Amino acid sequence: MRGPFEQKLSVSLAHTEGGAVARVAEGRRVGIDLERPERRPDGFAELVLTPEERQLLPEGDAWLARVWTAKEAVGKARGTGLAGDPRRFPLQKLDGERLLIDGEWVETAWDDPFVVAWSELP
């Protein structure tokens, strides 16, 4: 590691067709993800969200993409990924564009044509 850093750097990357994002932090674990909000196959919401999460989530493909990217960001920050079951990372609360995912606040933003979510953990 080079530079005047006192603590370890953490880097997270995400990409999809037409876009890429990165997040770097010193002394914290980071995760970032981006997606295009688009119609998902039938049953996708049931596969990735519990019934309680589906009740919290506003209607629309953009919100489904927002919660999906938030779950991905937390999984990346924790170093576990989604481990094959996105429901392990429950959506607990919405606060504007911030989402509480499994006890971790995740920032999200619309950056046309993408939804971006990022998380920093101690």
**pLDDT tens digits, one per residue of 90-122:** 999 999 999 999 999 999 999 999 999 999 999
Domain 9-121 has CATH 3.90.470.20: yes
Of 70, 63, 60, give the one whose Cα is nearest residue 34. 70
The distance in angstroms from the start CA to the end CA of the chain is: 20
pLDDT averaged over the chain?
95
| pLDDT on residue 1 | 53
What average pLDDT does the segment 6-16 reach?
95
| pLDDT on residue 4 | 85
Query: How far is the C-alpha of 12 from the C-alpha of 111, rounded, in Å?
Result: 18
Here the tokens at position 93 are: 């609360």
Here the tokens at position 73 are: 């960001």
Q: Given pLDDT bands bounded at 50, 70 and 90, which one contains residue 36?
A: very high
**pLDDT tens digits, one per residue of 77-93:** 999 999 999 999 999 99
What average pLDDT does the segment 57-70 reach?
93
Query: How far is the C-alpha of 89 from the C-alpha of 82, rounded, in Å?
Result: 8
User: What is the domain partition of the chain in residue ranges?
Assistant: 9-121
Here the tokens at position 110 are: 């619309």
